[in-house]
Structure 1
Amino acid sequence: MLSCCVRCNMENTPKTAIVVGAGSRGSGYPYYAKVEPNRLTIVGVCEPRKFYRERTVKLFDIAKENVFTDWAEAAARDKFADSVIICTPDRLHKDPAIAFAKKGYSILLEKPMATTEEECREIVSTCKANHVVLSVCHVLRYTPWVKKVKEIIDSGVIGQVVNINHVEPVGYWHFAHSFVRGNWSREADSSFALLAKCCHDVDLVCYWMSHRKCERVSSFGNLSHFTANDKPKGAAARCLDCPQSIEQQCPYSAKNIYLDEVKRGNTGWPVSVICEVPDIESVTNALRTGPYGKCVYDTDNDVMSHQVVNMQFEGGATATLQMVAFTRKICAREVKIYGTKGQIEVNDGDVVPIKVYDFVSKKPSHYQPEEADDISGPLMGHGGADYHTIKAFVDTLHDNSEQSIETGPDATLASHVVCFAAERARKENRVLNLNQHGVYE
């Protein structure tokens, strides 16, 4: 039996992690090791791009022998860390997740888990077979307002949930950045928009439905406006070459989205992802030569700009999810939840975002979520939820329990499967039903 002193020393020893993919998201979660060095140490990095690889090496003082351009080289070695933080592009999630799970590494995996249902199921089964922790970065479950809504539902104040209407306003320039010019513009290169952008939102609907199974799914969507047919007459192929009279009237001008932001002193997202050093010269060159400077009507994007998903859950409860590109708000969700005894209305970003109306008392109540922790730097993303996502994962490694994790393998797989079913229903123009084996047909 371990003495108290030995147990205490083990609990205070930092857990270790390897960063697999050190780009935008892969520079966020690992920063927890700088905030809580007694809880986590970054001991390795796998990144093919020199700039991002060397940036990570310098930040965490990683030993030369643990620096790799290819994750497969690290996976081929004997296990030398407790965990891996996988933030590779969407289509490159499955192979490293499988390989590291088989070596006994616990896994923090950026969403989406993978780009096909079969790959998601394989990741989950492999992690379970090898008894390793799997936490998928559905960070929204950790945001204060989401947790407060779940608390209100679980209290019974609105009775049983019978309908959820959930809107994800992507934001007009955000959609142009990520889904027209950016990494998620083509399904063949990444994944379909509903999975890439709204697997978060499908997951929240399932979360608030208190784990009742989604039994039926249908979906409709379209790619609107961002096509060659919508290009203004006389517009150039690139924003830097566009006539001023046209460029200044275009809400999707790359000059406005990127160059003007640098001039205002903003070198964070989205400017930070279009070049390694976000200064005027580098950003200008990126707009002249790279995808982010292209006219939004001259790209080969093919993912949906707006989509609606209809879901029916056990017991007859229903939900509607709407993803819309053409909005002023940027990812500030709008939610209405209707129950048998009351309703909840959420406007993320409002001073008091949650309103509840009680049918019995006929009185409204306003709820203020708990204040977000004082978090700054790379972990402040999603209202500090990025911090809580990695914290829960590291706590689980220390406690040898998965109780801290909100998005473990089963919950994540269930909501991902709904995403895949919705997209299949859209493409096949029909309603899909969940059979007794947990498969939509």
Structure 2
Amino acid sequence: MSRVSIAVVGAGNRGQAYGRFISQHPAEVYVTAVAEPHPIRRTRYAEEHQIPEENQFETWEDLLAQPRLADGIIIATLDDLHVEPAIQAMEKGYIILLEKPIAHTWEGMRLIAQKARETNATVLVCHVLRYTNFYRKLKELLDAKAIGEPRFVDHVEEIGFYHFAHSYVRGNWRNMQVAAPIILAKTCHDLDLFYWLFGAKCQTISSNASLVHFTAQAKPKGAGERCIDCQIEPRCPYSARKIYINDNEGWPVTVVTEDLSFAGRYKALQEGPYGRCVYSCDNDVPDVQTVSLKFSGNLEVNMALTAFSSEINRKTRIYGTHGELSADFAQGIIEIKRFGADTQVISVSSLVGGHGGGDVGLMHDFVHLLKGEGGQEGLTYLEDSLESHIMAFAAEQARHEQRVVDVNEWRSRR
């Protein structure tokens, strides 16, 4: 098969990211249909991919009511809109690329997994970090025992102050009533990395988390309800003016408005959720969370996520029986200090594209899969991706109940 077809459900930020790959590889893949409730996004996506009018749908229900329109389907809706589209797509016989998380509740994830088994469906989950040159190199080093047997891992996900304010205070993932908990929505990437890099399953888990800064109690004196009419806005790092009214015409501005002119952005901050003061939102997401995990093979892991970082990054230190390793994802640097030997510094180049080239790597594998050519060893099939979600849900139970959760027992009972 020389050229394969894809239908897209959700033409927002993630749907557009995968769409860019498709546009850049017209000899391999094309889009046959799109479902998107936002009329401007739907029309723009249809124009970019030359989708016929009869295959432009307002809802996923309308698209999936049709006979199968493509070889594969990308489901890139918000967290709480994964279950039904995924189930109906499996029933239609699509090969599926499903944006993470699989579902925002355990029950939803269980329904998807059950349907996949019943229909023998092929579902890939968008754990894109497995596909980066950086983490593939790190896995290669660990498999080669570059520092002996890993015994302890210290890992920090730096979300970035403006990213956290955008997504988890003002944005779509701000409230756990409508979105997955941050440990699942954001950090399932990291949990998946642990499972994949070390080839081990989590045995016990505990977690602590708190929301302290982005609250009404922390609101500075003189702060307004919206940034555009706030007395202290010039000295506030979370100012919506600073984040959205600037020279940037990409993410996160494209999430706020389709009109990227000054007037369009200003109006969005006057009227929309992204113009709100970060101390006056309906958010309930922790701004710091720590997780302690014990894996099979006597591997101990400390993981933390924090809103309070200047950059968006992941930093990992791994302590082994014959050395230690530090990995800086944003810088592309892996440093190895074998005991009694000189330090080795490895610089890893990344592919062009989001998530350090992970988006591109994932799409390459999805297209190969649609062609029947198989894919890389790291393909994130649904069954494999369940482990990161199990850890996330168990961590949430652990933090709410303030106890250590036996993950083996948790897994077997569900």
Q: What is the TM-score with the length of structure 1 in the denominator? A: 0.91
In the other structure, the counterpart of 1:394 is: 367
Per-residue CA shift, 1:41-73, capped at 9, x if unaligned? 100001111011111111111112211111112
Q: Which moved more, 1:126-135 or 1:286-295?
A: 126-135
Per-residue CA shift, 1:15-52, capped at 9, x if unaligned? 11111010111111122221111211100001111011
In the other structure, the counterpart of 2:397 is: 424
In the other structure, the counterpart of 2:341 is: 362
CA-CA distance at 1:402 after TM superposition:
5.0
Matched, 1:254 2:243: no
2:228 to 240, 262, 265: 240
In the other structure, the counterpart of 2:309 is: 327
2:205 to 217, 220, 224: 217
In the other structure, the counterpart of 1:336 is: 317
Task: Kindly provide the amino acid, as one letter, of the partner of residue 353 in structure 1.
Answer: I
1:267 to 233, 241, 249: 249
How many angstroms apart in 1 are the aligned matches of 2:39 and 2:377?
Answer: 35
CA-CA distance at 1:121 after TM superposition:
2.8
Matched, 1:282 2:264: yes
Matched, 1:76 2:57: no
CA-CA distance at 1:74 after TM superposition:
1.9
Task: Kindly provide the amino acid, as one letter, of the partner of residue 288 in structure 1.
Answer: Q
CA-CA distance at 1:195 after TM superposition:
1.1
How many angstroms apart in 2 are the aligned matches of 1:188 and 1:253?
Answer: 25
CA-CA distance at 1:437 after TM superposition:
7.7
In the other structure, the counterpart of 1:7 is: none
Task: Kindly provide the amino acid, as one letter, of the partner of residue 347 in structure 2.
Answer: Q
How many angstroms apart in 2 are the aligned matches of 1:400 and 1:132?
Answer: 17
How many angstroms apart in 1 are the aligned matches of 2:397 and 2:64?
Answer: 34
Q: Which moved more, 1:213-222 or 1:189-198?
A: 189-198
SS in 2 for 1:277: coil
Contact 1:101/1:126, CA 8 A, preserved across alignment: yes
The CA RMSD measured in Å over matched residues stands at 1.6
SS in 1 for 2:324: strand
Residue segments in structure 1 that go unaligned for 5+ positions in a row: 1-10
Q: How many pairs align? A: 414
In the other structure, the counterpart of 2:25 is: 36
Q: What is the TM-score with the length of structure 2 in the denominator? A: 0.96
Matched, 1:202 2:173: no
Per-residue CA shift, 1:376-425, capped at 9, x if unaligned? xxxx1112211111111111111353545521112210111101100111
Overall identity of the aligned pairs, in %: 40
Per-residue CA shift, 1:284-324, capped at 9, x if unaligned? 00000111111111111001111001100113211111001
Task: Kindly provide the amino acid, as one letter, of the partner of residue 357 in structure 1.
Answer: K
In the other structure, the counterpart of 1:5 is: none
Matched, 1:372 2:356: no
How many angstroms apart in 2 are the aligned matches of 1:151 and 1:318?
Answer: 20
How many angstroms apart in 1 are the aligned matches of 2:300 and 2:412?
Answer: 19
Contact 2:75/2:99, CA 8 A, preserved across alignment: yes
How many angstroms apart in 1 are the aligned matches of 2:303 and 2:343?
Answer: 25
How many angstroms apart in 2 are the aligned matches of 1:439 and 1:431?
Answer: 16
